[in-house]
Amino acid sequence: MHKELQVYFRNLNNIFLPLIFFFLIISIFPLVLGPDKLLLNKIIPGVIWITAILTTLLSSNNFFRDDFNNGIIETYLTSEKSIELVLFLKIVSCWIFTCLPIIVFIPLVSILFEIPFKNSITILFTLLIGTPILISIGIFGSALTLGLSKNNILTPIIIIPFYIPVLIFSASAIESVSSGLPYDLQIYVLLAILIFVVPIMPYLLKYTLELSVNN
Amino acid sequence: MNISKIANLKFFYINTKKISFFLSIVTLFLFSFGIYWGLFVAPADYLQGESYRIMYVHVPAAWLSLQVYIIMAIAGFIALIWKVKIMEIVSIQCASIGAYFTLIALVTGMIWGKPTWGTYWVWDARLTSELILLFLYIGILVLYSAFNDKRQAVKITSLLAIIGLINIPIIHYSVEWWNTLHQGPTVTKFERPSVHITMLIPLLYMLFVFNIYFLTVLIKRIRFGIFQREKNSKWMEDYLND
């Protein structure tokens, strides 16, 4: 974990790039749709979510590429230490450096788009629960395509269908809260998916990596 | 005759030639009978008139699209765990057959939707999840074609298929839930009246025919898959020279 974080810290660009990307995409929407406040207010939760998805897709796309080229993955797989823990920490650190900055800056986005406080809290919550799921699914996708030399657009094609449940429940939580309805059910479902996905993901990743490496 | 013998690629290839031909004839016969039954014998619907007859293709295709996915995932599972070579071929060939069935179900559904609902497409729960199913199939096929080493490719796609199988009910229920949240009253509007027995029997028959058709195509495709994989082997050369 410590080492992984250090690697991320060494090139701080890694923190800022997803964040800058996020803000760029967010600010494209008003340019395309016109500065109509009512319309923007209505669609901004969806926009934030789509942007979060794009960011996670791009940042998890070539997640194992460097380690694979360096031969680190093979070393891990052949070593006797438990690789699952390493993989779990890698997921966590990837999340910390790509999604956490976005979540931290959600209040700023809320100010820019004049989102009501209650709504922005919900967006924050759904992102907080949803993005770890998205990141782990994205990393799974990058493990699947590891055996390929180029996989720029392939991984998103494979994994976007798997994003759909998370997306639906997050969007409907935000919609519920903006129409004054309770949204705890959606949050619970998201939590359930999170609790289901994240613990099994390291084992799944290990198996996938073994398949991808042993050819 | 035991399982391991049938699972042998050479044995399967040599012995299914006649079966495959026979099945094709049977399928053709059964299919034309079913089409005749569905198009001319079965009564017209009191609500939808003649247009409902596309159901005899639409419903079996939609059913098969799911069934084939399950078969693909199970075959992939067997291929991964027990390393049965023929199941690798079954798994990946099921992907393309299933994609075709999904496409047929979607297209016939759209054709059917125009006269009954007045529009080709609604973001209805079933339609949406069928569309996502198509994307899942396409993902598997695209992933398979991206690999140079097809044996490794099929391992990866099998894994993806298994994960997708777990995911399908989740996707289905979430989409259904999303749909009822968004457009509650329209769902009941689209609900079809229960099918009368004179229409149900030809429908079940068509379902059976589609299954036979699937089996035929699958055997032909497995033979093709074996040929692709073993075309440089000695037994294939000997067999083709005979």
Report the CATH number at residue B224: 1.20.120
Nearest Cβ partner for B146 among A148, A175, A193: A148
- From first CA to last CA, the distance across chain A in angstroms is 29
Q: Is B171 on the interface with A (CB under 8 A)?
A: yes
Phi, psi of B195 (to 5 degrees): -80, 140
Predicted confidence (pLDDT) per residue in A8-20, tens digit: 666 666 677 888 8
Average per-residue pLDDT in chain B?
A: 81
Our CA-based measurement puts residue A13 at a distance from the nearest CA of chain B, in whole angstroms, of 31
CA A153-A157-A160 angle, to 5 degrees, is 125
Average per-residue pLDDT in chain A?
A: 82
Our CA-based measurement puts residue B63 at a distance from the nearest CA of chain A, in whole angstroms, of 20
Query: Are the beta carbons of A168 and B147 separated by less than 8 Å?
Result: no
- From first CA to last CA, the distance across chain B in angstroms is 25
Rounded Cα distance, B163 and B186, in Å? 32
- Interacting residues of B228 by C-beta distance below 8 A, sequence separation 6+: none
Closest residue, chain B, to A172 (C-alpha):
B178
pLDDT cut 90: percent of chain A above it = 0
Instruction: Annotate chain A with three-state secondary structure.
Output: CHHHHHHHHHCCHHHHHHHHHHHHHHHHHHHHHCCCHHHHHHHHHHHHHHHHHHHHHHHHHCCCHHHHHHCHHHHHHHCCCCHHHHHHHHHHHHHHHHHHHHHHCHHHHHHHHCCCHHHHHHHHHHHHHHHHHHHHHHHHHHHHHHHCCCCCCHHHHHHHHHHHHHHHHHHHHHHHHHCCCCCHHHHHHHHHHHHHHHHHHHHHHHHHHHHHHCC
Q: Which of B108, B105, B114, B115 is nearest to B49 (CA)?
A: B115
Our count of domains for chain A comes to: 1
- The H-or-E segment that residue B29 falls in is helix B9-36
- The answer to whether residue B211 sits within a structural domain is yes
Checking if the pLDDT of B189 tops 70, the result is no
- The answer to whether residue B239 sits within a structural domain is no
Task: Find out whether A115 and A41 touch, Cβ atoms under 8 Å.
Answer: yes
Predicted confidence (pLDDT) per residue in A5-61, tens digit: 666 666 666 677 888 888 888 888 888 887 777 788 778 888 888 888 888 888 877
- The answer to whether residue B77 sits within a structural domain is yes
- The answer to whether residue B4 sits within a structural domain is no
State which of A7-21, A90-104, B189-203, B205-219 shows the largest mean pLDDT: B205-219
- Chain A CB contacts of B152 under 8 Å are 147, 211-212, 215
In eight-state DSSP terms, residue B191 is: P
Rounded Cα distance, B114 and A115, in Å? 40
Q: Is B135 on the interface with A (CB under 8 A)?
A: yes
Query: Are the beta carbons of A161 and B159 separated by less than 8 Å?
Result: no
DSSP codes of every residue in B92-133 = HHHHHHHHHHHHHHHHHHHHHHHHHHSSS----HHHHHHHHH
Rounded Cα distance, B91 and B201, in Å? 31
Is residue A82 classed as helix, strand or coil in its secondary structure? coil
- The answer to whether residue B59 sits within a structural domain is yes
Is residue B45 classed as helix, strand or coil in its secondary structure? strand
Nearest Cβ partner for B152 among A151, A158, A215: A215
- The answer to whether residue B3 sits within a structural domain is no
Q: Which of A173, A56, A174 is nearest to A115 (CA)?
A: A174
What burial class does residue A19 get, using C-beta atoms within 10 Å of its C-beta: 0-12 exposed, 13-18 middle, 19+ buried?
middle
Q: Which pLDDT band, with edges at 50, 70 and 90, does A111 fall under? A: confident
Query: Are the beta carbons of B152 and A147 separated by less than 8 Å?
Result: yes
- Domain containing B177: what range? 17-234
Encoded tokens for A136: 């782990």
Q: Which pLDDT band, with edges at 50, 70 and 90, does B188 fall under? A: very low
Q: Is B178 on the interface with A (CB under 8 A)?
A: yes
Our CA-based measurement puts residue A209 at a distance from the nearest CA of chain B, in whole angstroms, of 10
Checking if the pLDDT of A67 tops 90, the result is no
Cβ neighbours of A14 (radius 10 Å): 16
Q: Which of A155, A160, A168, A208 should we substitute to test contact with B (largest number of B Cβ atoms within 10 Å)?
A: A168
Tokens 């919550």 sit on residue:
A125
Nearest Cβ partner for B149 among A159, A169, A215: A215
Nearest Cβ partner for B174 among A147, A157, A164: A164
Encoded tokens for B117: 């609902």
pTM for this entry: 0.85
Checking if the pLDDT of A114 tops 90, the result is no
- Domain containing A22: what range? 2-213
Checking if the pLDDT of B20 tops 50, the result is yes
Give how far the C-alpha of residue B219 lies from the chain's centroid of Cα atoms, to the nearest Å.
14
Q: Is B138 on the interface with A (CB under 8 A)?
A: yes
Rounded Cα distance, B11 and A82, in Å? 43
Tokens 């399928």 sit on residue:
B27
Query: Are the beta carbons of A161 and B175 separated by less than 8 Å?
Result: no
Query: Are the beta carbons of B146 and A168 separated by less than 8 Å?
Result: no
Our CA-based measurement puts residue A215 at a distance from the nearest CA of chain B, in whole angstroms, of 6
Our count of domains for chain B comes to: 1
Q: Which of A60, A92, A47, A45 is nearest to A158 (CA)?
A: A60
Query: Are the beta carbons of B146 and A215 separated by less than 8 Å?
Result: no
